[in-house]
């Protein structure tokens, strides 16, 4: 397959060039530029005094302030909340992907009683409107001693990330031919050994993409994280609501926190960028 | 095709246990609430199906559901084609591809409340760039005109979530072997034909995931309208989840809210199941053929 691919590619590259629209590259970056305007606005807000933000419309501010960044870094609350969010998002990503891998393998390779219903049921758990579940969540995590612990938030977020991980990974695993499993079995590999030594490296790309989505959904989730924490494990998004005081909203600080929350996400996508570009290369699409 | 083996249950079991713990127990609690009138934790009254009857006859709630449904459909109609279009013209390799991936992902990693407050300032006609520019074209004011409020929330949702569709479709497109394109080029296929007969069939799987995710999340949209319009102007952006939160938190009516969210949950499930069934119809036909 690979060989014939490259042969044909050489022979037909002129046609290939002609096929792509000449303006597509330009249009793409234009779209990205438009898309980035609100992000630029957010960054701009983070360096303007709160009064100025509400006071006047300026594209180039007449005065700047870095109080937001100073407060963000120096004030204990922010620094801790940032670490809390990072901790539970990372824990959640590790848990979700680890648990989802064997399950996705089972859904892809075996048929068993109730498999199709179970597969769809998993996804339905993403569909519960959070608002009313908050009270039961609060009671439940209190009862089992996971209230106000980053571990508790990591577990609570598995509610929506485990089903997602199972669904995406199943697609990748189904792209790997069954013969791989059979050959390994003939060679005397036990299932766990085969899975870790041979199979995991083959679906590295799928794991990378899934990990990014898990991290992202856990990182931006606000309602559940805020409900089952109070002070010790408070997430950054909850700390942000504290920027609203009797004196009004501190828009500078809020925007700064917003800018700072982008950074881990950028790092996460940077780690998996190559996997995404080749991501579903083996996936069943 | 697949090996029949009920021992596979053991591989799935951890997932079922975790999801049951995180989802099923709270769901049962809510189901329990929904049959009671809860005055305080120790003072409750069993009311049977009363709440369900109330809700299915409450025009306020029915309107909110209709609004959410309309919103979801509009969001899907914009985001899916736009996501596909952007993914198709995205750079395919080198540093440009890396830069494009990072740029496209940025809206996804900003917490919802920050997205809300950024757009809130950005769209104000007196102090925001977006509102200021739009006001040059027509009289734009999302705080007083219901149409503008609706349009703004829809724009925010498109801005926020189209990148998810782009990422999924982009990864899906990367998986199509070059040979398919060459075959199409030999046949002299137009760009549209390549899309229709080569790319779209191959993308069915990722589009299913994208469509279901986007449907569920846009139907449940909460934070952005809460921060930006607060459900207004009037009740133009009072979506089902906003009304639900008002009942649950604002009025502290746990029983009623419980019944409401069960109906909510069921509605999303039914519609997702319809999407799922329709979109996997072809898969199953193929499966029966190979069997």
The whole-number pLDDT of residue A283 equals 41
A129, A138, A146, A248: best mutation site toward chain B, by most B Cβ within 10 Å? A129
A143-152, A213-222, B199-208: least confidently modelled range: B199-208
Task: Output the six-digit token pair for B9.
Answer: 């249950």
Identify the band that residue A92 occupies on the pLDDT scale cut at 50, 70 and 90: very high
Q: What average pLDDT does chain A have? A: 81
Compute the distance between CA of residue A62 and CA of residue A47 in angstroms, rounded to an integer: 11
Identify the band that residue B218 occupies on the pLDDT scale cut at 50, 70 and 90: very high
Predicted confidence (pLDDT) per residue in B220-273, tens digit: 888 889 888 888 788 888 898 888 888 877 777 778 888 888 888 888 888 888
Size of interface A-B (CB pairs under 8 A): 319
Q: Which CATH superfamily does the domain covering A67-282 fall into?
A: MetI-like (1.10.3720.10)
The whole-number pLDDT of residue A3 equals 41
Q: Rounded to the nearest 10 degrees, how much is the dihedral formed by the CA atoms of A233, A134, A126, A192?
A: 50
Of B8, B108, B265, the CB nearest to A127: B265
**Helix or strand holding residue B44 (H, E):** strand B43-46
What would the 3-class secondary structure string for chain A be?
A: CHHHHHHHHHHHHHHHHHHCCCCHHHHHHHHHHHHHHHHHHHHHHHCCCHHHHHHCCCCCCCCCCCHHHHHHHHCHHHHHHHHHHHHHHHHHHHHHHHHHHHHHHHHHHEECCCHHHHHHHHHHHHHCCHHHHHHHHHHHHHHCCCCCCHHHHHHHCHHHHHHHHHHHHHHHHHCCCHHHHHHHHHCCCCHHHHHHHHHHHHCHHHHHHHHHHHHHHHHHCCHHHHHCCCCCCCCHHHHHHCCEECCEECHHHHHHHHHHHHHHHHHHHHHHHHHHHCHHHHCCC
Identify the band that residue A56 occupies on the pLDDT scale cut at 50, 70 and 90: confident
Of B30, B91, B126, the CB nearest to A132: B30
Compute the distance between CA of residue B125 and CA of residue B141 in angstroms, rounded to an integer: 7
Nearest to A122 by CA among A136, A141, A110, A106: A106
> Does the distance separating the beta carbons of A110 and B98 come in below 8 Å?
no
The verdict on domain B66-290 having CATH code 3.10.310.30 is no
The whole-number pLDDT of residue A18 equals 44
* Res B279 pLDDT > 80: no
> Does the distance separating the beta carbons of A137 and B26 come in below 8 Å?
yes
Asked if B90 reaches chain A (Cβ–Cβ under 8 Å), the answer is yes
Nearest to B275 by CA among B220, B212, B216, B214: B212
Average pLDDT over residues A87-108: 93
* Res A199 pLDDT > 80: yes
Distance in Å, alpha carbon of A90 to nearest chain B alpha carbon: 14
What residues contact residue A45 under an 8 Å CB cut-off, 6+ apart?
A: A53, A251, A252, A255, B118, B121
> Does the distance separating the beta carbons of B26 and A136 come in below 8 Å?
yes
Of B12, B26, B205, the CB nearest to A284: B205
Q: What is the ipTM of this complex?
A: 0.84
- B230 with B221: CB under 8 angstroms? no
Identify the band that residue A88 occupies on the pLDDT scale cut at 50, 70 and 90: very high
Identify the band that residue A8 occupies on the pLDDT scale cut at 50, 70 and 90: very low
> Does the distance separating the beta carbons of A19 and B8 come in below 8 Å?
no
pLDDT greater at residue B260 or residue A175: B260
B7, B64, B102, B105: best mutation site toward chain A, by most A Cβ within 10 Å? B105
């Amino acid at each position: 397959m690979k060989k014939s691919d490259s042969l044909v590619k050489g022979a037909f590259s002129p046609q290939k060039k002609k096929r792509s629209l000449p303006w597509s590259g330009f249009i793409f970056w234009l779209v990205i530029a438009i898309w980035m305007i609100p992000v630029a606005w957010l960054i701009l807000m983070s360096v303007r005094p709160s009064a100025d933000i509400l006071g006047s419309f300026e594209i180039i501010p007449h005065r700047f302030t870095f109080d937001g960044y100073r407060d963000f870094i120096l004030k204990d609350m922010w620094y801790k909340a940032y670490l809390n969010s990072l901790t539970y998002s990372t824990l959640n990503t590790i848990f979700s992907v680890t648990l989802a891998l064997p399950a996705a393998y089972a859904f892809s390779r075996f048929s068993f009683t109730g498999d199709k219903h179970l597969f769809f049921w998993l996804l339905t758990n993403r569909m519960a409107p959070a608002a009313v579940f908050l009270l039961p969540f609060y009671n439940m995590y209190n009862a089992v001693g996971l209230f106000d612990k980053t571990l508790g938030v990591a577990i609570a977020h598995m509610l929506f990330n485990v089903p997602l991980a199972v669904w995406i990974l199943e697609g990748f695993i189904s792209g790997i031919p069954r013969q791989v499993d059979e050959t390994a079995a003939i060679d005397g590999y036990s299932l766990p050994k085969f899975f870790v030594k041979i199979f995991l490296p083959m679906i590295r790309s799928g794991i990378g993409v899934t990990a990014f989505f898990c991290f992202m959904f856990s990182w931006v989730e606000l309602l559940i994280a805020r409900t089952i924490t109070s002070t010790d494990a408070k997430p950054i998004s909850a700390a942000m609501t504290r920027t609203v005081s009797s004196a009004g909203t501190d828009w500078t600080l809020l925007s700064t926190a917003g800018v700072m929350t982008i950074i881990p996400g950028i790092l996460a996508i940077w780690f998996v960028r190559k996997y995404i570009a080749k991501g579903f290369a083996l996936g069943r699409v | 095709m697949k090996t029949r083996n009920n021992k596979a249950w053991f591989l799935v079991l951890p997932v079922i246990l975790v999801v049951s713990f995180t989802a099923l127990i709270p769901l049962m609690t809510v189901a329990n609430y929904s049959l009671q009138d809860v005055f305080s934790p120790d003072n409750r009254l069993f009311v049977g199906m009363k709440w369900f009857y109330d809700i299915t006859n409450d025009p306020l709630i029915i309107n909110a559901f209709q609004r959410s449904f309309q919103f979801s459909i509009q969001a899907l109609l914009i985001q899916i084609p736009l996501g596909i279009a952007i993914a198709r013209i995205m750079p395919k390799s080198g540093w440009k591809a890396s830069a494009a991936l990072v740029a496209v992902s940025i809206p996804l990693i900003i917490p919802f409340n920050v997205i809300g407050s950024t757009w809130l300032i950005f769209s104000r006609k007196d102090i925001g760039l977006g509102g200021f520019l739009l006001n040059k074209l027509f009289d734009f004011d999302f705080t007083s005109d219901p149409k503008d409020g609706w349009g703004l929330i829809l724009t925010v949702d498109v801005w926020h979530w189209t990148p998810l569709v782009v990422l999924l479709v982009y990864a899906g497109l990367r998986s199509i072997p070059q040979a398919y394109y060459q075959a199409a080029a030999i046949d002299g296929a137009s760009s549209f034909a390549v899309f229709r007969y080569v790319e779209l069939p191959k993308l069915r799987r990722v589009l299913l995931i994208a469509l279901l995710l986007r449907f569920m999340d846009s139907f449940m949209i909460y934070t952005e309208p809460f921060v930006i319009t607060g459900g207004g102007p009037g009740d133009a952006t009072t979506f089902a989840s906003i009304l639900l939160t008002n009942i649950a938190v604002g009025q502290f009516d746990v029983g009623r809210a419980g019944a409401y969210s069960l109906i909510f949950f069921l509605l999303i499930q039914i519609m997702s199941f319809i999407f799922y069934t329709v979109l996997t119809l072809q898969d199953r036909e193929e499966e029966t053929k190979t069997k």
